[in-house]
A and B are shown apart, each in its own frame.
Chain A
Amino acid sequence: MARKPEKKPDVGTTGHEWDGIEELNNPLPRWWLWSFYATIVWALLYTVAYPAWPLISGATPGVLGYSSRAELAADIAAFDAENAPLEARLVSLELDQIADDPEVGNFARAGGAAVFRTVCAQCHGAGAGGAPGFPNLLDDDWLWGGDLNAIYTTIKNGIRDEADPDARFSQMPAFGEFLTRDEIRALTQHVLNISGQENDSTLAATGAELFADNCASCHGSAGTGDREQGAPNLTDAIWLWGNTPEAIATTITNARFGVMPSWQSRLTEAQIRQVAVFVHQQGGGE
């Protein structure tokens, strides 16, 4: 900065000249050149050691036999081995003791969350909030019971799964075949009435008689449902298919119900227990 750099006396030019501008010859250090060659050699060795060269079906495997799939499989095996004792404890405990054991409890919740995301979220939603026809698992209303054992059985055997003889099964007749439209309309008004919603009281009075004849055997005379049969409580604020008069009338006419697969053939005992604990813990468990 103090002065213009002078041309070092021993620096020649490369002999190149453009419009009177000459190029000084400031050679790169030799180690730089050798580092460059070394990187080339490294690259070649690397492609020999690791999978690299593309062939028609796949790539050269590399002499080290490295593969990310094998590595993943080894990782999974290692984790499985690490979890095996926890899993054994999980399976040996009574369901309601699981949460009390901090280690197993954490293992169950974390594993259950993973199982839920994999197989349950498709119907019940990623947050377990359900959708019309698919029960919300966060609320306090349970068709078949909300304690750990009930949840466990539901997951294990499914609902209305023809393939599993132990599956929970509830069957509501399609009343469209027995009752007239007017009768169904009256029944609807009665259901609205017992659940504390706006209704036509004259129609509802007619509906009450029809209810006692046709529905009370399953839903109870007060309409509070029966968990033994999976008959929903009609007096609460929770509606699987909606609480509008149209939705209720459709249900009475066609008797809609959902199906849940039985998971015992697809999940391990430990996984079923894990997901049961997880669901139970989501705020609705009894």
Chain B
Amino acid sequence: MSQIETPEPQLYAKREPIFPRRVKGRFRNLKWWIMGVTLAIYYITPWLRWDRGPNLPDQAVLVDLANRRFFMFWIEIWPQEFYFVAGLLIMAGLGLFLFTSALGRVWCGYACPQTVWTDLFILVERWIEGDRNARVRLWNDRWSLRKWRLRLFKWAVWLLIAVATGGAWVFYFADAPTLLADMLAGQAALVAYISVAVLTATTFFFGGFFREQICIYACPWPRIQAAMMDEDTLTVAYRDWRGEPRGKLRTIDNADQGDCIDCMACVNVCPMGIDIRNGQQMECITCALCIDACDEVMDRIDKPRGLIGYLAATDEAAERAGTPPRKVWKHIFRPRTVAYTLIWGAIGLGLLVALFIRSDIDVSVAQIRNPVSVVLSDGAVRNAYDVRLKNMQGEARTFRISIDTDDVLRLSIEGSEGLSVVVPPDSTYNQRMYITARPQDAAASTARTALRLWVEDVQSGDRAYADSAFNGRVQ
């Protein structure tokens, strides 16, 4: 047993506030662009209009939960076509695998909503309260009128962004202009207000106050993503063989001195509050802001860039020995990433093909099995079926129903003299149908006769079929 010399362990720690410094550089620029584009997509999409004719919503992207439809520009997805959504989700997952295996947690660093909104909130904070030093000073100041003013103003702007964010979400689920007018008039559904309130509160709190705590403690992705990385993955790392031993510029004029001048720029810009020079850490979201910060310093002290850079473990030994870094594309094109890309492409292609060959009629038949068949007074045998017809077009269509068997069977449709059914626009229609075999027909005394039910659009001639069977009177 070692003697306990360490102080009494602290089991719970206060969050250390982080005041990321402003930084300029190529990765920061890329991050600004991605932030701008993703936010624009999120806020603007529900307002795009798409004319679908009189019976359908005119919103380009709409998740219509009440009618169980998903509209996306010219594509309309019905519940039975949910494989499109599943396919897109699988593609999103594979895309994440691909990017993670090539470039580490780039999703976390650039595109994750938590990162994007936190970045936006930090931008607002910097605009109102000043850069890092001013913010640290303000944090340590007593509560004065000025501090209150700045804080309240900052919170107000955050709240505005949060309301816009929560608001944008509900517009994906209803006609945006109508819903906005209803919400302002206080007439929208309660669930809309609750959704907006919950999303506003979470955006405000997670983006403004919780920030990196979500990434470190609440989010499962860091753990999962780490499992998709291997030694060829490019991640943000500090080239310690070049930087160490670090020391203040000019104070140590020593040939042994490394390139790191211990200026802490990399630490000060890090939104996760870590020191990348301590090596790869779970907290690092590979946002590469420390690369920008250090490159700026290297430029100033006339040293080559890349003291902190994207680096793969396989190259570490070689680079340590003095060979220049390998080309980026050589890290990115490897069997693993190529395989992900191929699978991703194959699924995408499959979905595209499915999209173009899908029919806008759909028919399914359920044979009524309770009872299996009914004997009529003249000895004829009758079976009942529930036919479900889907008309995925914006206007009502007339479908003619017919059956195709080797045997003479008579078809009749409940509530109608003829054999055609009018299906209202854009809906699923249930129709009870009967098939009868006369006593002398073979099917009447055969246990099971296979049959195919055809549905044909009277105008366009489009056809669809479903297979079923006829059950005779079994003696």
Residues of A participating in the B interface, judged by any CB pair closer than 8 Å: 1-6, 8, 12-15, 17, 25, 27-33, 125-127, 129-130, 136, 138-141, 233, 236-238, 281, 283
What is the CB-to-nearest-CB distance from B230 to chain A, in angstroms, rounded to a whole number?
A: 8
Closest residue of A by beta carbon distance from B1:
A17
Q: Which among A3, A140, A281 has the highest number of chain B CB atoms within 10 Å? A: A3
Find out whether the CB atom of A27 lies under 8 angstroms from the CB atom of B377.
no
| Contacts known (A12-B7, A17-B1); A139 close to B375, Cβ less than 8 A | yes
Question: 5 closest pairs, A vs B, by CB?
Answer: A129-B371, A127-B370, A236-B377, A237-B379, A2-B237
| Contacts known (A2-B235, A127-B371); A28 close to B11, Cβ less than 8 A | yes
Find out whether the CB atom of A29 lies under 8 angstroms from the CB atom of B233.
no
Residues of B within 8 A of A233 (CB): 377
Find out whether the CB atom of A127 lies under 8 angstroms from the CB atom of B12.
no
Alpha-carbon separation in the docked complex, A7 to B281 (Å): 11
Residues of A within 8 A of B467 (CB): none
Find out whether the CB atom of B217 lies under 8 angstroms from the CB atom of A32.
yes
Find out whether the CB atom of B213 lies under 8 angstroms from the CB atom of A126.
no
| Contacts known (A1-B229, A129-B370, A136-B371); A15 close to B9, Cβ less than 8 A | yes
Out of A1, A125, A127, which one reaches B233, CB within 8 Å?
A1
What is the CB-to-nearest-CB distance from B415 to chain A, in angstroms, rounded to a whole number?
A: 8
Residues of A within 8 A of B217 (CB): 28-29, 32
What is the CB-to-nearest-CB distance from A140 to chain B, in angstroms, rounded to a whole number?
A: 5
Contacting A at CB under 8 A, from B205-254, are 213, 217, 229, 231, 233, 235, 237-238, 240
A and B contact pairs by CB, cutoff 8 A, 6 listed = A4-B279, A5-B281, A13-B9, A15-B9, A33-B12, A127-B370
Known: A1-B313, A2-B280, A139-B376. 15 other contacts (CB 8 A): A1-B237, A2-B312, A5-B281, A12-B7, A12-B9, A13-B6, A13-B9, A14-B6, A28-B13, A31-B15, A32-B12, A129-B370, A138-B384, A281-B414, A283-B382
Contacting A at CB under 8 A, from B374-426, are 374-379, 382, 384, 414
Q: Which among B1, B11, B231, B434 has the highest number of chain A CB atoms within 10 Å? A: B11
Closest residue of B by beta carbon distance from A36:
B12
B residues contacting the other copy or chain, number (CB 8 A)? 45
Out of B13, B229, B374, B439, which one reaches A30, CB within 8 Å?
B13
Closest residue of B by beta carbon distance from A238:
B377
Contacting A at CB under 8 A, from B241-299, are 278-281
Out of B278, B313, B370, B434, which one reaches A283, CB within 8 Å?
B434
| Contacts known (A13-B6, A27-B12); A3 close to B374, Cβ less than 8 A | no
Residues of B within 8 A of A126 (CB): 370
Closest residue of A by beta carbon distance from B279:
A3
What is the CB-to-nearest-CB distance from B267 to chain A, in angstroms, rounded to a whole number?
A: 12
Indicate if B190 sits at the interface (CB-CB under 8 A): no
Out of B11, B15, B279, B375, which one reaches A238, CB within 8 Å?
B375
Find out whether the CB atom of B278 lies under 8 angstroms from the CB atom of A5.
yes
Contacting A at CB under 8 A, from B420-453, are 432, 434, 439
Residues of A within 8 A of B140 (CB): none
Find out whether the CB atom of A237 lies under 8 angstroms from the CB atom of B375.
yes
Alpha-carbon separation in the docked complex, A115 to B313 (Å): 72
Find out whether the CB atom of B377 lies under 8 angstroms from the CB atom of A2.
no
Indicate if B58 sits at the interface (CB-CB under 8 A): no
What is the CB-to-nearest-CB distance from A72 to chain B, in angstroms, rounded to a whole number?
A: 21
Closest residue of B by beta carbon distance from A136:
B374
Indicate if B80 sits at the interface (CB-CB under 8 A): no
Residues of B within 8 A of A129 (CB): 370-371, 374
Residues of A within 8 A of B213 (CB): 29, 31
Alpha-carbon separation in the docked complex, A121 to B3 (Å): 81
Residues of B within 8 A of A13 (CB): 6, 9
Find out whether the CB atom of B378 lies under 8 angstroms from the CB atom of A12.
no
Find out whether the CB atom of B12 lies under 8 angstroms from the CB atom of A283.
no
Residues of B within 8 A of A140 (CB): 376-377
Find out whether the CB atom of A29 lies under 8 angstroms from the CB atom of B278.
no
Find out whether the CB atom of B374 lies under 8 angstroms from the CB atom of A283.
yes
What is the CB-to-nearest-CB distance from A36 to chain B, in angstroms, rounded to a whole number?
A: 10
Residues of B within 8 A of A6 (CB): 278-279
